[in-house]
Structure 1
Amino acid sequence: MERGCATPRDGRPHQVPIQAIFQLPHGSVVTYRLDTSSWAPEWILVDHELDLLPYRALITTLAHAEHSVSSLLAAAGAAGGQVVYRPSSPRPRPDRTCLPPPLTPPARPPFGSLSAYLRHTPEARQAIRVALAQPLPHPPDAPLVCPPLGADPGLVGTAFDYALRFVVQGLHPEVLPTRGPLVARYAAFQMNRDQVLAAVDEAEHTLGEVVDGLPFGERHARAAVVLASYEVVARTGLFQGLAGFVPAEAWRDVLALVRAVPLEAFRAEQQLILNPHFPAAGRFGGADADLLVDDILIEVKATRHLRLRGEYLQQLSAYLVLDRLAGIRGSDLPVRRLGVYYARHGVLHVLPVRDAFRPGLLPQLVTWFDESLPRARPGK
């Protein structure tokens, strides 16, 4: 703590703290100016994302505390940190570029999904670009082992997502994975309810054979395409006449993609969550990811291009923000690694979170979205 002279009413000067320097549990150092009751310079100095919540707790505590040495020490202890003295020379800090100002949060989500929010909100994309480290490593060179066979890319990609979840679940017979409801079921709100549920139940039962140890074959690839066709209806309300139809080039493509999966890369040691759901996703209008294997949040891409595209990084960064805001349903671990699985190359490219963002900017990014999105409803 730094101190300065003040003259109380009795005329005798004594030392009072002018600013307090707090070290948070994960190493971040923040400074509080007692003379102005302000943080210098606000929350920019939070270097580690896990210090964001302790930092907010510290702000709240000091807002209602006396400015005495004992209260400062108590506030630091309550936040899991400590009060430290300023080093003899200022601690060097990394060069930073400021994020754009937060947006005025709307009363309700203006778009129906995270991807639509990012597509229509250039300020959000800019905030993510500023926070990301540059340059990020691209995936290693690898041959195209599963060239597209001519089926609709969206249908094949969604079908492979389903297939991969059942295949990965089959790798862990001793683990009860967390899995949300199949999106394909929601087509029942668009079409004949009994028809949809019967078709989805049958396809899910067929894919369940893979979980029980049966090798993935043509029947299972067809079932995955069936689920994908109903999910298209559920998400768009369109193409109802194609629901349940399985083009040959689609199921053959899915079968080839499954056979190219490097199974060892998807083995979990602590937890497996299929189609992860985020409690804070409603603030975007909805969001769900593909896989969470231990602490790796994986997005699956069935593209023929082996590139780390900006849109992939934006999507994964937004998922990470949701994890930092309210976690992932059923997960006991914070996301520590981000992954993109390039299905047509059989390559899982993993980026540690600590390397993917510029020092100190992930907490800022979380705060930017927290201040720019609609408020979370109680109980949500």
Structure 2
Amino acid sequence: MSLTSFLRIKEVREAFASEFEKPKLKLDWKIKVPPGTTNYSLVGTAFDYLMRFYLERLNPFAVTEPWTCERAVEVLNLGLKDLSELKELEEIKWWGVITGIKSQLGQTKLDYPKLVDMAENIVKEAKIRHSQYVKSGHMTNEVIKTVILMSQLDLIFRGGYLYRNIGKVDKRDIQDLKSMLSIIPKNIFTAKSICLLNPTFGEATRLIGGADADIVIDNRIIDIKTVKKCEIRRDNFNEIVGYYILGRIGGIGENHRVDASDIEEIGLYFSRFGKCCLFNVDTIINQDTISAFMDWFKNRAQAEFKILMIK
């Protein structure tokens, strides 16, 4: 389970719709960077990584969590063992994903050990490119190529999907990402004292089976949307409110805690438009009822997680 899947449950959707009124507004911003290919999801994930790199350079005190692609490599390495060698429940639960990845190898020219080697090399190279960029601020095509390869590995961890052309990069996607990087509004993302990148929510993340926000800048939670249409959809609104709720329950950040009650704005950054839409928390959250809602949220999540464990 994850926050996204939890929010898809009919009862949960209805509860969010009842408790949190979505502001009525129409965004008439015009797209500045149309997609260059149909690799929409891949480019979106790659931009998330690129944004992390950029913000680490912009805000030297930024705190970042481990990359998802690193976790993908850990999972792939488990597949070099026999199932009988896996002792921890946390390892065993990934066996279905590993089996699925192995079944998809036929669409590539790789065998499993070569796939693991490729994944390890991608992460190794990414750490070098990342370090070079954060130190120099010099964005190159090689850095952008690296984040695309990283996003290919994310598909393994997040969805058990092996990218058909893993290890290959479309030059149009590189240009796409470079263009989106060029329109980031620096003033929105320059932090005064707090910059958390992909922070989790302590016990609340474990409660929901996995959740991390994109960015926390001072008193703002911002989610990145690399989409063609600029609109505030109900599911996107629920997601950003969900991060706020998780933060109120478990705090924001594992080792660098931020009290979510200090968060004043939540919103969405539309990377193809270079625009950020922010909502004042006080206009969305009813402080008289939020405690009761959080209790319901915790109980409903615990019940759902038990159901999934039984299955």
TM-score, structure 1 normalization: 0.65
For residues 264 and 25 of structure 2, the distance between their equivalents in structure 1, rounded to whole angstroms, comes to 18
Equivalent residue letter for 2:175: R
Which of residues 111, 120, 127 is equivalent to 2:15? 127
Deviation at 1:322, TM superposition (A): 0.8
For residues 139 and 323 of structure 1, the distance between their equivalents in structure 2, rounded to whole angstroms, comes to 28
Q: Secondary structure at the match of 2:266?
A: strand
Q: 1:155 maps to which residue?
A: 42
Which of residues 23, 27, 33 is equivalent to 1:146? 33
Equivalent residue letter for 1:297: I
Q: Is the 8 A contact 2:197 2:214 kept in 1?
A: yes
For residues 288 and 230 of structure 2, the distance between their equivalents in structure 1, rounded to whole angstroms, comes to 30
Question: Is 1:325 aligned to 2:249, yes or no?
Answer: yes
Q: 1:308 maps to which residue?
A: 232
| Map 1:331-370 → 2, pairs under 5 A | 331-334=257-260, 335-358=263-286, 360-370=288-298
Q: 2:5 maps to which residue?
A: 116
For residues 287 and 250 of structure 2, the distance between their equivalents in structure 1, rounded to whole angstroms, comes to 22
For residues 279 and 140 of structure 2, the distance between their equivalents in structure 1, rounded to whole angstroms, comes to 32
Question: Is 1:248 aligned to 2:176, yes or no?
Answer: no
Equivalent residue letter for 2:290: L
| Residues 229-277 of structure 1, C-alpha deviations (whole Å, 9 max, x = no match) | 1111221222254332211222221111111111111011121111111
Q: Percent identity?
A: 25
For residues 28 and 127 of structure 2, the distance between their equivalents in structure 1, rounded to whole angstroms, comes to 35
Q: Is the 8 A contact 1:221 1:254 kept in 2?
A: yes
TM-score, structure 2 normalization: 0.78
Q: Which runs of 5+ in 1 are unaligned?
A: 1-111
Question: Is 1:272 aligned to 2:200, yes or no?
Answer: no
For residues 214 and 233 of structure 1, the distance between their equivalents in structure 2, rounded to whole angstroms, comes to 30
For residues 307 and 281 of structure 1, the distance between their equivalents in structure 2, rounded to whole angstroms, comes to 27
For residues 284 and 209 of structure 2, the distance between their equivalents in structure 1, rounded to whole angstroms, comes to 26
Question: Is 1:238 aligned to 2:238, yes or no?
Answer: no
For residues 331 and 213 of structure 1, the distance between their equivalents in structure 2, rounded to whole angstroms, comes to 29
Give the structure with the higher percent strand.
1
Give the structure with the higher percent helix.
2
For residues 321 and 202 of structure 1, the distance between their equivalents in structure 2, rounded to whole angstroms, comes to 36
Q: Taking structure 1 as reference, are residues 149 and 122 closer, same or farther at Cα in structure 2, changes over 3 Å only?
A: same
| Residues 71-103 of structure 1, C-alpha deviations (whole Å, 9 max, x = no match) | xxxxxxxxxxxxxxxxxxxxxxxxxxxxxxxxx
Q: Is the 8 A contact 1:179 1:273 kept in 2?
A: yes
Q: 2:89 maps to which residue?
A: none
Q: How many residues were matched structurally?
A: 262
| Map 1:21-36 → 2, pairs under 5 A | none
Q: Secondary structure at the match of 2:196?
A: strand
Deviation at 1:205, TM superposition (A): 1.9
Deviation at 1:140, TM superposition (A): 4.6
For residues 358 and 325 of structure 1, the distance between their equivalents in structure 2, rounded to whole angstroms, comes to 16
Q: Is the 8 A contact 2:205 2:250 kept in 1?
A: no
Equivalent residue letter for 1:131: E
Question: Is 1:172 aligned to 2:27, yes or no?
Answer: no
Q: Is the 8 A contact 1:180 1:276 kept in 2?
A: yes
Q: Is the 8 A contact 1:298 1:340 kept in 2?
A: yes
Deviation at 1:141, TM superposition (A): 2.9
Q: Which moved more, 1:234-243 or 1:223-232?
A: 234-243
Q: Is the 8 A contact 2:34 2:228 kept in 1?
A: yes
Q: Which moved more, 1:291-300 or 1:247-256?
A: 247-256
Q: 1:22 maps to which residue?
A: none
Q: 1:57 maps to which residue?
A: none
Equivalent residue letter for 1:285: G
Q: Which runs of 5+ in 2 are unaligned?
A: 77-111, 306-311
Q: 1:374 maps to which residue?
A: 302
